[in-house]
Amino acid sequence: MANLFSIPKNIVTGAEALQKSMAYIEGYGKKALIVTDEAMVKYGNVGKLTAALDGIGKKYAVYPAINTEPTHAMIDEGVALYAEEGCDFLIAIGGGSPIDSVKAIGAVVANGGSITEYAGKKIELLLPRLVAIPTTAGTGSEATKVSIITNTDTDVKMLLSDPKLMVDLAVVDPVFTLTVPPAVTAATGLDALTHAVEAYTSVKAFPMTDIFAVSAVKKIFANIQAVYTDGSDVAARGEMANAALEAGIAFSNSSVTIVHGMSRPIGALFHVPHGQSNAVLLSVCLPYLKPGAVERLNDRAHTAGIAEPGMAPDEGAEAFVAATLDIVKSLHVPSLQQLGIQEEDFFKAIPKMTEDALASGSPGNTRRSPSKEEIESLYRELWASGA
């Protein structure tokens, strides 16, 4: 079977990546709309970007309103500002939220309508040039053809996936991640780990995606605790930034599976940060998917150095699941209960969450494809586990 592998046209990584990227940005247009959040302004990241743009005489306007996981109203506002300011290309600086927003704004600028009409549709016309500068090491959105926007009218986190959503330039400089607080470091790092594990165990995995998924798992196992305990560890931050990029490349081409499928509805209805809802779901989803992915999880146990000589494949797979769940535990991710979600509300939402999870198509990529009843039961198990 033939497989398409897509990545951004240009990726600049490492120290001074921002400066180096100006050689590309120079030719991208007359005026950029910078899509970001207030925290990026406060931490001086937007200032670093605008200083670099001033250095090449490039004009810009700043849209700093993507303070949470993005909604369709935030996209509408960004589209209006782009036109008002006479912009002709887009730069995102921030976590996955501003990067997903830049793709959505670009899609609507080029194709019209409202972003709420884009779910499950092919994007017809090419977007303006897009630049993504991640400041978290998590989503990998800088290298994916995916954008996730919440339609607040229907309470659905829409999964938009189209090769036209791939950015032209990804600028991955770990210096931008040094200020990420521990709880966000944990959630975003576990999002990247989930991408890598799901990409590797997806039914759509192929040799090119395996290379990136395996490399990401190795880096994350070796560095996630270091960045959580010491956010100023530049070397470990660099490894995590590269791992998030690799995991993004992997899943963008081979798809996520049951964890992300079940996670988006929790995020949409209960406003749980994306990485946290993935992390809690790992405790029920990894044991669920394991029987369909024994060989692949066993491989990972070997790569991560946790398989002992002579272990049977099933024991290796179990060791990998246990080691992953130990990592989640060590990073103190809050449970759904600790996040203040009420039992009655959660159980009432299970039918909608199940329907939305299945409608996204992600659970169907799992090597053990879940039925509606199984997903409902996994949500119940998740609540009972107190994870």
Ligand X SMILES: NC(=O)c1ccc[n+]([C@@H]2O[C@H](COP(=O)([O-])OP(=O)(O)OC[C@H]3O[C@@H](n4cnc5c(N)ncnc54)[C@H](O)[C@@H]3O)[C@@H](O)[C@H]2O)c1
Q: Is 139 in the site for ligand X (CB under 6 A)?
A: yes
248 vs 265, which CB is nearer to ligand X? Answer: 248
Of the pair 285, 301, the CB lying nearest ligand X is at 285
Q: Which residues, in sequence order, are CB contacts of 375 under 8 Å at separation 6+?
A: 258, 262, 354, 357, 358, 363
Cβ atoms 337, 355 nearer than 8 A: no
Quickly list H helices, the chain: 17-25, 38-42, 45-55, 72-84, 96-111, 182-201, 207-229, 234-254, 258-270, 274-289, 294-303, 313-330, 343-359, 372-385
Name the 3-class secondary structure at 102.
helix
Rounded to a whole number of angstroms, the minimum distance from the CB of residue 263 to ligand X is 8
Stretch binding Fe ion (CB under 5 A), from 12-20, 161-169, 186-194, 282-290: 186-194
**135 is an interface residue for ligand X by CB under 6 A:** yes
Radius of gyration (C-alpha) of the chain in whole angstroms: 20
276 binds ligand X (CB under 6 A): no
The span of 139-147, 300-308, 309-317, 349-357 binding ligand X (CB under 6 A) equals: 139-147
- One of 174, 275, 363, 370 touching ligand X (CB under 6 A): 275
Residues 159-218 that bind ligand X (CB under 6 A): 176-177, 179-180, 184, 188, 191
Instruction: Indicate whether 106 belongs to the interface with ligand X (CB under 6 A).
Output: no
198 contributes a contact to Fe ion by CB under 5 A: no
Number of residues that bind ligand X (CB under 6 A): 29
144 contacts which partner out of ligand X, Fe ion, none, CB within 5 to 8 A by kind? ligand X
CA distances from 353 to 196, 349, 368 (A): 24, 6, 19
Query: Minimum Å distance from CB 188 to Fe ion?
Result: 9
Q: Looking at 173, 191, 198, 318, which residue binds Fe ion (CB under 5 A)? A: 191
Options 8, 64, 96, 316; binder of ligand X; rule CB under 6 A: 96
246 counts as binding Fe ion under rule CB under 5 A: no
Q: Does 69 bind ligand X (CB under 6 A)?
A: yes
Q: How far apart are CA 61 and CA 314, in angstroms?
A: 55
Q: In this structure, which amino acid lies at residue 146?
A: V
**Cβ-proximal residues to 257 (8 Å cutoff; 6+ apart), any chain:** 198, 201, 202, 289, 362, 363, 365, 366, 367
90 touches 58 (CB < 8 A)? no
User: Is residue 168 within the footprint of Fe ion (CB under 5 A)?
Assistant: no
255 is a site residue for ligand X (CB under 6 A): no
Q: Which of 279, 179, 290 is nearest to 220 (CA)?
A: 279
Q: Taking CB within 5 to 8 Å according to partner kind, which of Fe ion, ligand X, none is near residue 37?
A: ligand X
For position 318 contacting ligand X by CB under 6 A, the verdict is: no
